[in-house]
Amino acid sequence: MAFVLSADAEPAPPRLPALHVAALKPLPQTPTPDQVIHGDVDAGFAPLPTTHTPNAVEKQRWYRLTLDRDWHEESAPLLNFTGAMYVHITVYPPPDYRPHELWFAQTDLPARFSRHHLALELPHDLRAGQPIYVQIAADSFTRQIRAEIVDMATYQAQDLNHVRLTTLFSSVQFTMILAALCLWLVLRDRVLVYFIGYTGCQLMNQLLTSGELYELPGGRLLIPLGTHAPWLFTALSAPLLLSFIVEFCELRVITPRGARLLGAMRWPYLVIAALLCFPFAERMHLLASAYNFWFIVSLLCALAAVILATLRHGRQARFFLVAWLPQVLLTVVRVSQVLLSLDLPRWLEYSMPAAMAFCSVVVTIGLADLSLRARRERDMAHHLADHDALTGVLNRRALVRRLHDAMAQARPLHQPLALIFLDMDHFKSVNDRHGHQTGDACLRAVAEAIADELRPSDSLGRYGGEEFVAMLPGTTQDNAMAVAERIRHSIEVLQVHARGNTLQTTVSMGVSSLLGPLDTVDDLIARADAALYRAKTQGRNCVVAHASLTAVTS
């Protein structure tokens, strides 16, 4: 945030008359406006070497402006002041020298221009040496205010470009805030709150600095706060930014010490924000300097933490570094310019909001990427919760749940539903002779072979150990027997290659089907299990249906 503001207006074309500024020397008694405009104190005005008109703390100042030659341009002359944010300026122009109040937050008159400069149209027949008196009110901070006279057409073109740029940058930030708000309504993630908070505070400060906020609904409510308003939003944006960096860049995981340091550096900003609410803060130059110094220190510490997280392969840190680095560099230049009381060049004036808009866009993309990764992790967690980690098929809990759903759908429509209970033959001997890793390879190969014989609408789950259950909705018991026979045959000819061994295995299967409206999931599984037991007792590597207890053998 800047507490000393000034801006270099573009140099006037050579064809325009030059503006000369004279300042009224301090007098024993402050003159009245009538005395000044009637020329009673003209002898006390001394020429200034530049068009800067420094105002004084606790004391108003008078200036006299004159042209070096008559105004003969096609459009009227326009007097404008830069660097006069929240400073009251009263202009007494010829010929009648009636007072014209210029103020950054003025809303009582229809706006002819933006609030980029304080501007007033002068008479078209302005003559050389004809005085224009300017009264600049006392202010809490000494500011370098610059007066300039340009033709109306040139000023309007420059002002229109200014409005276009500021509207573009503000609209981009506002759009990104809305996008983050929509994400927050869905995800309720704390990092989104920090982003909305710090970006919103930056946008409010930007709109207050440009004066455009006072044109928006409700903007007039901030007028009584004066300079407190931009100070407050700037002081609040800093701790929100540090909190966002810690959360977004995952510093607590990647660089815990950096996260703790940035967390501790937030508290002085809250103290400064509280002090800024008091009237005496306007007269505390030390408070402004302390804020600027602490802001640079915390900015550099945050940048170092983000760079360290980037070097440690932090994906979100890379996003933020790309987004934030231009803004950091421009902020350091801006704060240095303020601390050194230098003029604000036009490139820096528009580079700052452009960098903020760029940062908002890239960070929003990073937030979307973070949300996408969170969604993938959530989907993966759901998948792992419902699937067997070894074979990739459904686990027992998920299979039973699907079986409940399938039975609830089949009963009202009187549709068939079949179940195949499978058990690998002599699987314990495979583990004992070749080891559990080879046994795991057999389980995976058998699960794949079973799945290859099923439809997309069917479900396959690992019921426990070497037992599998296949659910076939819309399938009669006879069709299920045919499917089971295909599965039996494909596993019988299957060769499993694992750890230098080539193995073959077989499965025994029991088939059951839904009998009536009072049938339960436990009943269906119990009948299939009973049929499987019969298949085992009949020599294994066969399929047995529960109803007929007939077997189909190889």
- Give pLDDT, residue 183: 83
**How are beta strands 467-473 and 417-424 bridged, if at all?**
antiparallel
- Listing DSSP states for 43-55 in one string gives GGEEE-SSSB---
Q: How confident is the model at residue 2 (pLDDT cuts 50, 70, 90)?
A: very low
Write down the CATH number for the domain with range 19-152.
Answer: 2.60.40.2380
Cα gap 23→44, rounded to integer Å? 8
Closest CA to 173 of 372, 315, 346, 352: 352
Q: How confident is the model at residue 553 (pLDDT cuts 50, 70, 90)?
A: very low
60-69, 351-360, 494-503, 532-541 — which is least confidently predicted? 494-503
Q: How confident is the model at residue 287 (pLDDT cuts 50, 70, 90)?
A: confident
Contacts for 427-435: CB closer than 8 Å, 24+ residues apart: 427/465, 427/466, 427/505, 430/503, 430/505, 434/498, 434/499, 434/501, 434/503, 435/499
Cα gap 461→391, rounded to integer Å? 9
Residues 6+ apart with CB under 8 A from 292: 1, 3, 335, 338, 339
372-406 tens-digit pLDDT: 887 787 778 787 888 888 888 999 999 999 999 99
Tokens of 377: 């992790």
Domain assignments of the chain as residue spans, ordered by start: 19-152, 157-384, 396-553
Cα gap 66→7, rounded to integer Å? 21
Q: How confident is the model at residue 54 (pLDDT cuts 50, 70, 90)?
A: low
Tell me: pLDDT of 280 over 70.
no
Q: The whole model's pTM is what? A: 0.68
At position 349, the amino acid (one-letter code) is E
In this prediction, residues 280-285 reach a mean pLDDT of: 58
- What architecture is domain 157-384? Up-down Bundle (1.20)
- Listing DSSP states for 237-252 in one string gives HHHHHHHHHHHHTTHH
Query: Which range has the top average pLDDT, 10-14, 56-60, 181-185?
Result: 181-185
Residues in the chain: 554
**How are beta strands 19-24 and 45-47 bridged, if at all?**
antiparallel
> Which DSSP helix (H) or strand (E) runs through 291?
helix 285-311
213-225 tens-digit pLDDT: 888 888 888 887 7
Closest CA to 426 of 541, 276, 265: 541
- Give pLDDT, residue 288: 73
- Give pLDDT, residue 58: 58
Tokens of 237: 């944006």
Q: Which residue has the higher pLDDT, 127 or 335?
A: 127
Cβ atoms 180, 42 nearer than 8 A: no
> Which DSSP helix (H) or strand (E) runs through 63?
strand 61-67
In this prediction, residues 490-510 reach a mean pLDDT of: 88
Write down the CATH number for the domain with range 396-553.
Answer: 3.30.70.270
Tell me: pLDDT of 330 over 60.
yes
117-149 tens-digit pLDDT: 899 999 999 999 999 999 988 776 556 788 999
φ/ψ of 522, rounded to 5, equals: -65, -40
Cα gap 510→161, rounded to integer Å? 80
162-191 tens-digit pLDDT: 999 989 999 999 999 998 898 888 878 898
Share of the chain above pLDDT 70, in %: 92
Phi-psi region of 318 (alpha: psi -120 to 50; beta: other; left: phi over 0): alpha
Cα gap 158→15, rounded to integer Å? 18
In this prediction, residues 303-314 reach a mean pLDDT of: 92
Instruction: Using the structure block, give the residue that is written with the tokens 């006037």.
Output: 12
The runs of H, that is alpha helices, within 312-426 are 315-339, 346-386, 396-413
Tell me: pLDDT of 550 over 50.
no
- Given strand 100-102, what is the order of strands in its sheet? 45-47, 19-24, 61-67, 132-136, 89-92, 100-102
In this prediction, residues 317-333 reach a mean pLDDT of: 87
Cα gap 526→529, rounded to integer Å? 5
In this prediction, residues 10-21 reach a mean pLDDT of: 71
68-72, 253-257, 347-351, 445-449 — which is least confidently predicted? 347-351
Tell me: pLDDT of 211 over 90.
no
396-553: same fold as 19-152? Answer: no
Closest CA to 231 of 185, 183, 287, 164: 287
- Give pLDDT, residue 308: 94
Cα gap 545→511, rounded to integer Å? 5
Cα gap 222→213, rounded to integer Å? 9
The three-class DSSP label of residue 69 is coil
Cα gap 195→187, rounded to integer Å? 14
Q: How many CA atoms lie within 13 A of 550 on its CB side?
A: 6
When the pLDDT of each residue in the chain is averaged and rounded to a whole number, the result is 85
- Give pLDDT, residue 133: 95
In this prediction, residues 201-223 reach a mean pLDDT of: 85
**How are beta strands 89-92 and 77-82 bridged, if at all?**
unpaired
Residues 6+ apart with CB under 8 A from 537: none
Q: Which residue has the higher pLDDT, 106 or 118?
A: 118
Tell me: pLDDT of 55 over 60.
no
Burial (Cβ within 10 Å: 0-12, 13-18, ≥19) of residue 69: exposed
Residues 6+ apart with CB under 8 A from 506: 424, 425, 488, 491, 492, 540, 541
- Give pLDDT, residue 208: 87
The three-class DSSP label of residue 534 is helix
Tell me: pLDDT of 1 over 50.
no
Q: How confident is the model at residue 272 (pLDDT cuts 50, 70, 90)?
A: confident
Share of the chain above pLDDT 90, in %: 45
Q: Which residue has the higher pLDDT, 105 or 181?
A: 181
Cα gap 42→132, rounded to integer Å? 12
Tokens of 413: 């429509």
Residues 6+ apart with CB under 8 A from 435: 499
Cα gap 215→208, rounded to integer Å? 10
